[in-house]
Amino acid sequence: MAKIYPKVYFGNRIVEADEAHLSVASSAVLYGLSVYTVFPVSLDTSGKKFAFRLPEHFERLLNSAKIIGIDTFEPKWNYPKFKKAVQVLIDANIITNSIYVRVTVHVDAQIAGTKSRGLSTALSMFIYDAVPILNYEGVRLKTSVWRRIPDYAIPSRAKVNGAYVNSVLAKQDAIDSGYDDCIFLDVDGHVCELSAANIFIVRHGRIITPAATHDLLEGINRRSIIELAQAELGMEVIERSIDLTELYIADEVFATGTSTNIAPVLEIDARVIANGKIGPITKKLQKIHHDIRHGSHISADDWLTIL
């Protein structure tokens, strides 16, 4: 497991990690009524720190709260205040390697019942080592026996903590079966995403990814890969329905997400993808994405916030 750094932002101040507590009677604990985002902070060769697409991550936090009806967070927080809190957290810890920052808005009202509006919230932020959840060299996936929660049940566009029980069930089934992760299908049997990453395929010279209407998270890295493929590689990117069998015959398959970076998929359901090795498009996108996150690419300034 990744190491958690000792200083945590909680209750509008820096505290020791073991001092950041929520009540067992809070809505966050009882109902999973929290929303979150995770973003990477990377270091360049001089030790300068960069947060990747920080304004977009704050916007997603606001949108997630709005979607599920948490209405007391946005009036208290704006982007400058959020950025300052991130800076305070970074400065409070000694950081020498790339890290992830997990930011969560918790509904901390106690015994509030099954509702979300007008309830008090607390924001927490903690840092942990940037250990990717999927292997950079390649992964094996299994189609999940569990279907993705449809957007009309729990909104896919919101990163709701409680909804990740669905991902836990699916990924644990994949691990128990000897695979690295799962592929979710929606209720109609179309490809959605992995347990915590978006999925792309390369076929006939085009990049294809499931449309956002297929019960998936509109990931910030998903959007980044679409933009990079178009601008840097000059490739057409299509968002549409994808059948499971199309994955089996793709030229390349890869997954992407904040905690995934870009991971090539080499096998799905005991079927080797193409030649079973990382594909040229995936490899190019890996390098561009890495260089941008570490401030060594010409396009980095648009997506990085210096801390």
| Half-sphere exposure (Cβ direction) of 183: Cα atoms closer than 13 Å | 27
pLDDT at 45: 83
Q: With cut-offs at 50, 70 and 90, classify the pLDDT of residue 302.
A: confident
Percent of the chain whose pLDDT exceeds 90: 93
Q: With cut-offs at 50, 70 and 90, classify the pLDDT of residue 296.
A: confident
pLDDT at 300: 75
Same fold, 7-129 and 139-293: no
- pLDDT of 205 higher than 90: yes
Mean pLDDT, residues 17-35 taken together: 97
Model-level pTM? 0.95
Q: Write the DSSP string, the chain.
A: -PPBPSEEEESSSEEEGGG----TTBHHHHH--EEEEEEEEEE-TT--EEEESHHHHHHHHHHHHHHHT--SSGGG--HHHHHHHHHHHHHHS---S-EEEEEEEEE--BS--S--TT--EEEEEEEEE---SS-TT-EEEEE-SSPPPPTTTS-TTS-BGGGGHHHHHHHHHHHHTT-SEEE-B-TTSBB---SSSEEEEEETTEEEEE-TTTT----HHHHHHHHHHHHTT---EEEE--BHHHHHT-SEEEEEETTTEEEEEEEETTEE-TTSS--HHHHHHHHHHHHHHTT-STTGGGTEEE-
pLDDT at 78: 98
Mean pLDDT, residues 145-153 taken together: 97
pLDDT at 1: 72
Q: Domain 7-129's class?
A: alpha beta
- pLDDT of 133 higher than 80: yes
Quote the mean pLDDT of the chain.
Answer: 96
What residue segments make up the domains of the chain, in order of their start? 7-129, 139-293
pLDDT at 130: 93
Residue that wins the pLDDT comparison between 47 and 262: 262
Instruction: Tell me the two tokens of residue 222.
Output: 């998903």
pLDDT at 65: 98
pLDDT at 29: 97
Mean pLDDT, residues 48-54 taken together: 95
Provide the Cα torsion 89, 95, 97, 101; round to 10°.
Answer: -10
pLDDT at 264: 98
pLDDT at 206: 98
- pLDDT of 295 higher than 90: no
Mean pLDDT, residues 279-286 taken together: 97
- Selecting from 2.40.30.10, 3.40.920.10, 1.20.1250.20, 3.20.10.10, what CATH number does the domain 139-293 have? 3.20.10.10
pLDDT at 301: 80
Contacts of 116 (CB under 8 A, 6+ apart): 27, 33, 68, 69, 70, 71, 107
